[in-house]
Structure 1
Amino acid sequence: MTLSAVTGLKRLALAVVALILGVFAALATVSFLIPKDHVREAVKSEIRAATGLDPLLRGDVSVSLFPYGQVTLSDVSLGDGPGEPPLQATRLVARLSFLPLLMGRIDIADITLGEPRILVTVDGNGRSNWGRLLSSHGRNVDSETPSFSEIRINRGTVVVRDDYRKIYEYVSEADLSLAWPAISRSFAVTGNVRYRGEPLEIGVTLANFSSALQGERSALKLRVAGVPFKFAFDGAMATRPTLKIEGTTSADSPSLRRAMLWLGKRPLPGGGFERLSLKAQTNIVGGTIALSQVNLELDGNVAEGVLTFAADGRQTLQGTLAVDHLDLTPYLSTVRLLTAAERDWNRARLDLEGLATADLDLRLSAGKVTIGSSSLGRTAVATNLRAGKLGVTIGESRGFGGVIRGSIGLARGEQGATFAAQVQFDGVNLERCIGELFGVRRIDGKGNLTLSLEGTGSSVYALTRTLDGEATLSMNKGALTGLNVEQLLRRLERRPLSGGSEFRTGRTPFQSLSVRMKIAKGNVTVEDMDLRGTAVRLALAGEASIPARDLDLKGVATLIAANANTKPFELPFAVQGLWDDPLLLPDAQILIQRSGAAAPLLEALRARRDAARVPSATPATQPGSPETNAAVPSPLSLPLTKQGSTLPPAPAMPAPAVGSAVSSTPASAPAEARPQTPPATRSATASSETEAAAPVDTGAAPERDVTPAGPVSSDPALAPAEKAE
């Protein structure tokens, strides 16, 4: 009994093996018996029915039914129209359905395209070369026409030539799987491609492929992920009567600037545009993309609002955004107005090529704005960029303790950048405002500042050389820092020849200050500067150079007397040097006239000059004779004394004694023609001609005068003698 069971099992196993071998042998035999022409035509008919395109088979055909049925076609192309076919493949492998094959019918289960080249063209009228495929599916979606369940693409390339929208793209190394709606109604594309040198993972799903082909509404999901950016969309689309897409959009990029460069777009000039995160409700109608409920994060700035992007014609971005805290430091980080030493304007060439990338019309409101170390309060700004011309309108900005309004324009010109600005600062802290704008911190207090500037140049330095415009400043109850004018005037009133570096410290309070300036070719003309305080008054005029950042100003400082019957003390002065470190040079001639010690010396010089003009003087002592010039050097040609040297109080000396000592000195030239010589020279000369004069160290005794530094102005007392000469 047991032997019979074993024998039965062996016989059954042998029968099964024989059956399998017979099937395989039958399949192998059938594969040789099936006519290749019949297979070729059957495959062509299936492809034509499914795609709407006429396949052209140029290569060999091979049929294999073991281990599964498949047909391999070489050198295949789809399309029967003139020109380049929409699809060309090195080989096409069609996997056959097994049961229909046993019944003598050839049905294609799926297709694999090896190294295909897919061409998508759109002519100038908007017609695509794939129109027949789409229209064919639109007609046959509800029929019983066989269709593929899947199409695979191995190492394919996709070429897009859109003459209507001027789009030309190339995708390589495409390994895709297209789920053709043979059973379900959905259509999906998944896989990997390489675009512009970067690998991307893509996924597209249409919930109702037949409705989408007919232009009706269908759910749509889109996902693209790669190193440059990630993009996802979940919504619906329809193409009839016009393209309409709506849904939720999200996008992320570690660097928007690099992503734009990767896409072939030039980013805006400057820095920033790095980390990006976007979420919004999207509505696409035709060529217009509208984003609502926008949540945008860029370089750490979080904004909410609406955006609209018009892709038809010139690309234009419009929108309104609100930001709690806007940090503009990243975008201006590459802008260098001054060199590293901050002593000269930057001469590097300005790059404004990015202004021509797209048009922009953006309105922005921020609760706080940060620019480097500066901070502004509530700000409303409108930015307009069109045809390479950038305009920024400041509706209102709370900054520097006041309100800022105005407009700034920047554009590309034939000579580089074209700059224009009209800005008004109302009630601002002028020390912070002027200090951060121009690097000058000499005014403390609140006031108004108006600037109107325009210039052209290829660099910041070149712009400063062409600046034209005007500027006005007005303020009440402020102070000049770095100089105590009242203390200086009172000290010079008591001791005219006293001086020292302590004059460049302290503050000068005032009740009002007004300045009016004109700018032409980078040169500033101070037409009027009037400072009025309770104890001092300053009037100033002159010029300043913006390219050189230096000053050349002259003015008069007046010490207002407490008694109305007392004549006020007036001192002419000059301001020279760099903006951030100017020098104040008082008029030494006036100080010498007021000095009790130096006044007799001036009288002695006048007496000497008068004695030199006496007719009885011998030829050897006539003015201008070589002997005279060699014997007594001119006081204007002597070297300066060391800083800090002083003159002791000079007692009243008889004029003849002094005159006899210098009676042979030649007459001096007119004051306005003489070189500007510091009073130290004249004091030293007079001191050397007086035996009682002895140099002493600078002290605090009121009877000693410190030699001041500064230019020597004309002496009105010498005018009669100079005119007579």
Structure 2
Amino acid sequence: MKLIRPVLAVITLLALLVVGALAALPYIVSSDSIRLHLAQNISAWTGYSVEIRQPPRMSFFPVFRASLSDVTLSKMNDANAPFMAAERIEVEMSPLDALFGRVAFSETRLINAHFNLSEPVEDLPQFVNTLASSSGRLGLAIRQARNLAAKKSENGQNADSQLQTMPFGRLVLENSSIGFTTRNTEQPKEITEINATINWPQTTSAATVKGKAVWQKETAEYNLSVAQPLLLLARGMSQITAQVSSKPLTLSFDGRSNISENIFTEGAFSLASPSLSESLHWLGLSSDASYSLRTTAEDAFSIETNISATPQRIKLADIALNLNNMPAKGAAEIGLGKQRPIVTGTLAFQTLNAVSFFHTVTTLVTKVSEDEQSKLYDDYRYYAPPRMIDTRLLNSADLDIRLSAQNATIGAAQMTGLAAALQIRDGQAIFDIGDAKAFKGSIQTSIKLAQTENGQDTIGIRLNAANIDSAAFLTALGLSDPILSGQGNLSVTAETSPQNLQSMLQNARGQISFTLNNGRMLGFDLNDFIAKMKSEGFFALQRRDKVSLDFKRLDVKASLGDGVATLETTKVETMQGALSLTGIIPLTDRSLALSGTLSLPLPEKEPAEKPAENGEAADQTGEAQTPDPAPTEPQKPETENLHFFVGGSWDRPFISPSK
């Protein structure tokens, strides 16, 4: 009992001393001292000039904390806008250290801070160099690490264990922002609502960054881990893992990188997006910063690759890509040194939907109503004006992608052995199919999108098909019951303005030629047609079941212009005769205005016998000798020409015989 009393007395005395010290702390610790030490520590850590315009306010419960308002951080001898301006900085300190005149911060909190960067990729090495040149503890540690890294590279020894260890603590950003410009545009950009926690207990330990931020009105969560941050600041390589998750995209990286004038990164990279076009705009790769596409499932995108990157070039190896459920493998390279990125590469698809691929890469959009156009989506996404194809993103990048596919489709057309290329350059997009097997023959085609100087969108199409099955080709065009069957060749060149279907037909210009050999015209009864031509004055041309017209050759040549298809030559050669058509076919109202001729050969007349003349000589038998007839050119068989007009509509033509 006697021993317990002194112990309790000592404990009570110590408790009274602690409480008294805490009570006296506001009077012992000077606010000017806190402000001075805070300015000195920030300047020493960063190498920047610090200005604190307001005296600090201190609180002592539940932790000892100092709050400083209106703090700026500027480059030494720089009269421009400050590198950082914070509405408030709060620091947590050890009360015991404060009692003994030492000011050490366990946590620093930046509230409503704004950072100004001229160009992030270029400013980051400059910021690190500024830290390294400072006279503070971090600057000394970085310089020591750089020296050790240089010695390590010279003698190959591991000098990591010699790095200087010192406490760093935790840095918290609340509702902060970063303003910057890019090398390709002077328009300022801003990352807002940054809330992040940077944990770096000691300079030789790993560091983590975790938080959220808003870019282009979308919230992104990020998580970064750096294995050797001090070596990273010393221009060395450090293992890094990073994840970013947002509505437009999610990405991850696991590899290594450095921070220097020649930034280099390599490792495993993956990205997934529900809409490639949406992600391109969100990342700032759109040429029109105020324009975006609505998110659809038609351009879902994911990629896994091994990446190696510098500020000028990005190489992607072992690509495993999936675009709108079309997996592919390949390699690519992205050049970043010019005004627009330059993308080159190869992709091999197992199955390729060529129309979907072309639509996705050239950002085709759907027509929307005027009410939908006026709606804002998260203040920055809105629908495009009503147009079938949008070419405004063609100036975002230059592409040269070589494609191959074992199986491919263009609409309902099935192809095998496809070899193609997609090129986007100087505001033009060209999709070329150099070779493909289709319709029991081969095809070559090219689709070109462009924009004229006055902003008019244009689309050009070139198609060459050899030895194709016409029935299969017409079925692929949407004719469920095609009228022609046979093997032949097709050539199409056309150009139009794709604002809408009506304007496409009205503005179309081009040529069409089509040849079939030894084919059939299904549903056409030539004998019935001849009988009606001779007996009726006006009749409807109707397709008949289980009837066809065999022909030796079919030739069609037409031109497109002013919303009209002009048949320059249409000739069908059959065993019974020849049928020809000329005239115009308006494309907008589906009407017909044609004139035709049916040429039928007349039966040949048998020549009459010629009697022998009296003056003719007789041979020894007494019979008259007939001289050999002089050779004559064969006479063309006489024909009967039936002329007629074709009117009505495409699906219900009418025939009017004429003299």
For Structure 1 versus Structure 2, the TM-score category normalised by the shorter chain is 0.7 to 0.9
Alignment of 1:233 onto 2:234: no
Query: Paired residue for 1:572, among 643, 646, 652?
Result: 643
| Aligned twin of 2:223 | 203
- Contiguous gaps of at least 5 residues in structure 2: 145-162, 368-384, 607-636
Task: Give the match for residue 342 of structure 1.
Answer: none
**1:42 alignment partner, SS class:** helix
Distance 1:96 1:525 in 2: 88
The alpha carbon displacement at 1:474 in A equals: 1.2
Task: Give distance in 1, aligned partners of 2:221 and 2:585.
Answer: 62
Q: Which residue of 2 aligns with 1:608?
A: none
Q: Secondary structure at the match of 2:278?
A: helix
Contact 1:415 1:458 in 2 (8 A): no
What does 1:69-468 correspond to in 2, within 5 Å? 69-79=64-74, 80=76, 81-97=78-94, 100-101=97-98, 103-122=100-119, 130=127, 132-133=130-131, 135-136=133-134, 137=138, 139-141=140-142, 142=144, 148-162=168-182, 166=186, 168-180=188-200, 182-240=202-260, 242-263=262-283, 265=286, 273-312=298-337, 313-328=339-354, 349-352=387-390, 353-413=392-452, 414=454, 416-434=456-474, 436-437=476-477, 441-456=482-497, 458-468=499-509
Give the direction of change, closer, same or farther, for the CA distance of 1:410–1:571 in structure 2 (3 Å limit).
same
Give 1:212 deviation, angstroms: 1.7
Give deviations 1:372-409, integer Å, cap 9, x for gaps.
Answer: 44433332221112232121222012223321113222
CA contact 1:151–1:178 (8 Å) conserved in 2: yes
Once the two structures are superposed, the pairs formed by residues 553-564 of structure 1 within 5 Å of their partners are 553-560=594-601
Does the residue aligned with 2:202 lie in a helix, a strand or coil? coil
| One-letter amino acid matched to 2:421 | A
Deviation, 1:570, is 4.3
SS at match of 1:18: helix
2-structure distance, mates of 1:420, 1:175: 50
Report if the CA contact (8 A) 1:72-1:93 is conserved. Answer: yes
| Higher Cα radius of gyration | 1
Tell me the CA shift for residue 562 of structure 1: 7.7
The answer on whether the counterparts of 1:268 and 1:355 sit within 8 Å (CA) in structure 2 is no
What does the per-residue CA deviation read over 1:129-155, in whole Å, with 9 as the maximum and x for residues that have no partner?
A: 735235445653338696522111222
Match of 1:84, SS state, is coil
Residue 262 of structure 1: CA displacement? 3.9
Aligned residue in 1 for 2:29: 34
The CA deviation string for residues 89-126 of structure 1, in whole angstroms up to 9 with x for no partner, is: 23322223466446543322231222322222339986
Residue 719 (structure 1) aligns with: none
> Does the C-alpha gap of structure 1 residues 542 and 161 become closer, same or farther in structure 2, counting only changes over 3 Å?
closer
Q: Please say if residues 28 and 66 of structure 1, whose CA atoms lie closer than 8 Å, have aligned partners that are also in contact.
A: no
Q: Is the 8 A contact 1:288 1:309 kept in 2?
A: yes
Q: Name the aligned partner's letter for residue 452 of structure 1.
A: T
**Cα 1:58–1:579 shift into 2, 3 Å:** same
* Counterpart for residue 704 of structure 1: none
Q: Secondary structure at the match of 1:534?
A: coil
Residues in 2 aligned to 1:536 and 1:146: alpha-carbon distance in whole angstroms: 101
**How big is the shift at 1:250?**
0.8
AA at the equivalent of 1:85: P
Counterpart code for 1:284: A
What CA distance in whole angstroms lies between the structure 1 residues aligned with 2:250 and 2:86? Answer: 31
CA distance in 1, matches of 2:69, 2:558: 83
**CA distance in structure 1 between the aligned counterparts of 2:653 and 2:386, rounded to whole angstroms:** 27
CA distance in 2, matches of 1:165, 1:47: 33
TM-score between the two structures when normalised by the length of structure 2: 0.77
DSSP-derived class of the 2:653 partner: strand
- Cα distance in 2 for partners of 1:467, 1:215 equals 60
- Residues 326-385 of structure 1 show CA distances to partners (whole Å, capped at 9, x for unaligned) of 235657698899xxxxxxxxx974452333333322222122223444433332221112
Q: 2:31–2:56: 8 Å Cα contact kept in structure 1?
A: yes
The secondary structure found in structure 2 opposite 1:555 is: strand
Worse-matched range after superposition: 453-462 or 215-224: 453-462
Structure 2 residue aligned with 1:516 = 557
CA contact (8 A) 2:413 2:473 kept: no
| Shift in alpha-carbon separation, 1:463–1:275, aligned structure 2, 3 A | closer
8 A Cα contact 1:147 1:181, kept in partner: yes
TM-fit CA distance, 1:469: 3.0
TM-score when normalising by structure 1: 0.70
What SS does structure 1 have at the residue aligned with 2:12?
helix
| Residue 46 (structure 1) aligns with | 41
Decide whether aligned partners of structure 1 residues 122 and 392 sit closer, same or farther in structure 2, where only a CA change above 3 A counts: closer
**Aligned pair partner of 1:24 in 11, 14, 19:** 19
1:56 alignment partner in structure 2:
51
1-structure distance, mates of 2:461, 2:258: 48
CA distance 1:462–1:320, change in 2 (3 Å): same
CA deviation after TM superposition for structure 1 residue 531, in Å: 1.9
**Which residue number corresponds to residue 720 of structure 1?**
none
Q: Deviations over 1:480-531 (max 9, x none)?
A: 1231214543x569x8459976863121111222223344444443333332
2:556 counterpart of 1:485? no
Whole-Å Cα distance in 2 between the matches of residues 508 and 518 of structure 1?
A: 26
CA contact (8 A) 1:523 1:546 kept: yes
With 149-158 and 30-39 compared, the bigger mean Cα shift is at 30-39
The aligned runs of 1:634-645 (5 Å cut-off) are none
> 2:541 touches 2:652 (CA, 8 Å); kept in 1?
no
1:438–1:157 Cα change, 3 Å = same
Compute the displacement of 1:243 (Å).
Answer: 1.8
What secondary structure does 1:184 align onto? coil
Change (3 A) 1:517 1:106: closer
Q: Which runs of 5+ in 1 are unaligned?
A: 338-346, 586-709, 715-725
Pick closer, same or farther for the CA change 1:164–1:60 going to 2, 3 Å.
farther
For the residue of structure 1 that corresponds to 2:168, the secondary structure is: coil
CA distance 1:466–1:286, change in 2 (3 Å): same
User: How many residue pairs get matched?
Assistant: 572
**Helix, strand or coil for the counterpart of 2:15?**
helix
* Identical aligned residues as a percent: 24
Instruction: Give the Å deviation of 1:42.
Output: 2.5
Superposed CA deviations along residues 155-213 of structure 1, whole A, max 9, x for unmatched, are: 22222234576473322332211123625343321122233333221122222222222
Higher alpha-carbon deviation: 213-222 or 7-16: 7-16
Assess, with a 3 A threshold, how the Cα gap between structure 1 residues 237 and 412 changes in structure 2: closer, same or farther: same
Give the Cα separation in 2 of the matches to 1:16 and 1:82. 57
Using the TM superposition, give the Cα deviation of residue 248 of structure 1 relative to its aligned residue in structure 2, in angstroms: 0.7
Q: What code does the residue aligned with 1:58 have?
A: R
Rounded Cα–Cα distance in structure 2 between residues aligned with 1:456 and 1:161: 36
Pairwise CA RMSD:
3.6
The structural deviation recorded for 1:214 is 2.5
Structure 1 counterpart of 2:517, from 476, 499, 502: 476
Distance 1:40 1:433, change over 3 A: same
Q: Is the 8 A contact 1:377 1:399 kept in 2?
A: yes
Q: Distance in 1 between matches of 2:272 and 2:515?
A: 49
Alpha carbons of 1:40 and 1:145: their partners in 2 closer, same or farther (altered >3 Å)? Answer: farther
1:83 shift after superposition: 2.2
Question: Residue 434 of structure 2 aligns to which amino acid in structure 1?
Answer: G
2:204 is paired with a residue of what secondary structure? Answer: coil
CA distance in 1: counterparts of 2:644 and 2:100, whole angstroms? 115
Distance (whole Å) between structure 1 residues aligned to residue 140 and residue 298 of structure 2:
48
